[in-house]
């Protein structure tokens, strides 16, 4: 099984572990407990699962037309950008960084965790 290493938007290690081959990056984040947003539920309609692939980009499946169109709407798109719900793993290890847009969406989707992070002074990030 490929190992997925996930960093938050500030470059801090957020999660790491093995996930089944064929999983999307978004599924990997959910399985490993990373704060990777997905406003449309993973159907290629929002761009909030945007992430940067720091290692293993070439091992992911090819980007389709829908993903390319939706990525055009995302912030801070780079050559390493992918939509987490559309990029799937093969057997190779991958390193990913979640974008600020995606992390913000995750907190919007998880108000309990947002309130806990706010109470601890961890959110919003300084």
Helix 100-109 and helix 111-119, axial crossing angle in degrees, nearest 10? 110
Q: Tell me the two tokens of residue 26.
A: 């978004």
User: Per CB under 6 A, does 46 bind ligand FES?
Assistant: yes
User: Per CB under 6 A, does 38 bind ligand FES?
Assistant: yes
Q: Tell me the two tokens of residue 61.
A: 């499946």
Contact 108, 70 (CB under 8 A): no
The nearer residue to ligand FES, 75 or 116, going by C-beta atoms, is 75
Contact 83, 71 (CB under 8 A): yes
Pick one of 48, 81, 97, 99: the residue that binds ligand FES (CB under 6 A): 48
Please enumerate in sequence order all residues whose Cβ is within 8 A of that of 24, keeping only pairs 6 or more positions apart, or say none. 42, 84, 85, 86, 87, 88, 89
Check whether the bond before 97 is cis (ω within 30° of 0): no
Binding mask 61-100 for ligand FES (x = CB under 6 A): ---------x------------x-x---------------
User: Per CB under 6 A, does 53 bind ligand FES?
Assistant: no
Q: Tell me the two tokens of residue 20.
A: 């089944």
Pick one of 30, 44, 95, 117: the residue that binds ligand FES (CB under 6 A): 44
- Which of the ranges 37-45, 57-65, 90-98, 118-126 carries the binding residues for ligand FES, by CB under 6 A? 37-45
User: From the CB of 46, what's the least distance to ligand FES, in Å?
Assistant: 3
Contacts with ligand FES, residue ranges (CB under 6 A):
38-40, 42, 44-49, 70, 83, 85
């Amino acid at each position: 099984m490929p190992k997925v290493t996930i960093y938050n938007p500030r470059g801090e290690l957020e999660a790491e572990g093995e996930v089944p081959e064929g999983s999307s990056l978004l599924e990997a984040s959910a399985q490993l407990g990373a704060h990777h947003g997905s406003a449309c539920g993973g159907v290629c309609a929002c761009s909030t699962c945007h992430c940067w692939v720091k290692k293993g980009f070439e091992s992911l499946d090819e980007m389709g037309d829908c993903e390319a169109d939706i990525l055009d709407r995302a912030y801070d798109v780079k050559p390493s950008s992918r939509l987490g719900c559309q990029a799937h793993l093969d057997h190779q290890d991958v390193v990913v960084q979640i974008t600020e847009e995606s992390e913000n969406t995750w907190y919007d989707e998880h108000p309990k965790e947002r309130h806990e992070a706010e109470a601890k002074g961890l959110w919003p990030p300084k």
